Amino acid sequence: MEAIRNVAIAGASGALGSPIFEALLKSGHFNVTVLTRHSSEAKFPDSVKVIRVDYTSVPELTEALAGQHAVVSVLTTSAMETQIPLIEASVKAGVRRFLPSEFCANIGNPKAGSLPVYHSKVQLHDVVRQKAAENPNFTYSLIRNGPFLDWSLAFGFFINLKGGETPLYDGGDRPFSTTTLATIGQAVVEVLRHPDETKNRAVFVQDLVTTQNEMLAIAQKVKPEITWTTKNVSTAEMEDMAQQKYASGSMDLVASVGFFCRSVYAEGYGGEFKEVDNDLLGIPLKSKADLEVLIKDVLENAN
């Protein structure tokens, strides 16, 4: 495939979109265009072309995407369906590679993929697969990275940053793959630079594999003055509760976290990636010493 040069990014102002946008710009390999909602208050550097779009309008999106080789979607979790017109417009505009807003657990694993919180992402797989089958010039890549390492640490999703009681999901010893926002940005750059090798498939990236108990031991080492107690939490029970909430129409964050924890920590859900594309993408693994630095920084900011 010809080199990808012109890249449009949707959601460039978001938690993950910002570091991906930075990585695309800093790589120096691409002409980057930002798509943003008409209603958005996000600010972007003057040097970057920004196009305001209505994500429901295929004609408007098609016009915005003229001349683009790739679209990177980093749209928010609650707006996954917004990407259907965006994919439609990408095909019409002759975009060659589409990266949906995937960036999650291994939802190719049937157990993880069946969790309701991921249904809207899984539906998009069918859309991009069908478009790719019908239009040989249109291709896609699905980047899977596990929970965001630095972001989840900073929100206290792995361990309680203030000390005290911290939940250990299914005992806290199940290994899982996890990746920092910056590494995901690097992965996006490298996927676009390796279009043939990453064509029409899931691409797995990780910084490292760890466990909650390993993180807690590091936290205790770097902050001996803080005391943690642990509470075992069953991800099966979390899923039951989340299923009931979703079934009653209450798709709140607590319910969604139940599904996220199930996909990351539960046995048989693929939380630890079996094969990763780090070598292909030239992304080295982080060491335990790197993890210690990350945990120390987060704890110092939080306490």
Ligand X SMILES: NC(=O)c1ccc[n+]([C@@H]2O[C@H](COP(=O)([O-])OP(=O)(O)OC[C@H]3O[C@@H](n4cnc5c(N)ncnc54)[C@H](OP(=O)(O)O)[C@@H]3O)[C@@H](O)[C@H]2O)c1
Q: Which residues bind ligand X (CB under 6 A)?
A: 11, 13-17, 36-37, 40, 42, 55, 74-77, 79, 82, 101, 103-104, 147-148, 152
Collect all residues with Cβ–Cβ distance below 8 Å to 218 and sequence separation of at least 6. 288, 291, 292, 295
Shortest Å distance, C-beta 264 to ligand X: 8
Q: What is the closest distance, in whole angstroms, from the C-beta atom of residue 136 to ligand X in the complex?
A: 27
37 or 199: CB nearest ligand X: 37
* Residue whose CB is less far from ligand X, 106 or 163: 106
Least distance from ligand X to the Cβ atom of residue 28, Å: 23
Q: How far is the CB of 58 from ligand X (least distance, A)?
A: 15
Q: Which residues, at least 6 apart from 117, have a Cβ–Cβ distance to it below 8 Å?
A: 242, 246, 251, 255, 256, 259, 260
The CB-nearest residue to ligand X is 14
Whole-angstrom Cα distance, residue 11 to residue 236? 33
Spell out where the chain has E strands: 6-10, 31-37, 49-53, 70-73, 97-99, 139-144, 164-169, 176-178, 201-204, 208-210, 228-233
Q: What is the DSSP letter of 118?
A: G
Structure tokens at 139: 């291709």
- Tell me whether residue 71 or residue 223 sits nearer to ligand X (CB atom): 71
Q: Which is nearer to ligand X, 98 or 148 (CB)?
A: 148
d(CA 150, CA 182): 9
Distances (CA, A) of 201 to 108, 128, 242: 10, 10, 30
Biggest CA-to-CA distance, the chain: 61
* Minimum CB distance to ligand X smaller for 103 or for 169: 103
What stretches of 60-152 adopt beta strand conformation (E)?
A: 70-73, 97-99, 139-144
Residue among 226 and 257 whose Cβ is closer to ligand X: 257
Comparison of 55 and 269: residue with beta carbon closer to ligand X: 55
Edge-to-edge strands, sheet with 139-144: 49-53, 31-37, 6-10, 70-73, 97-99, 139-144, 201-204
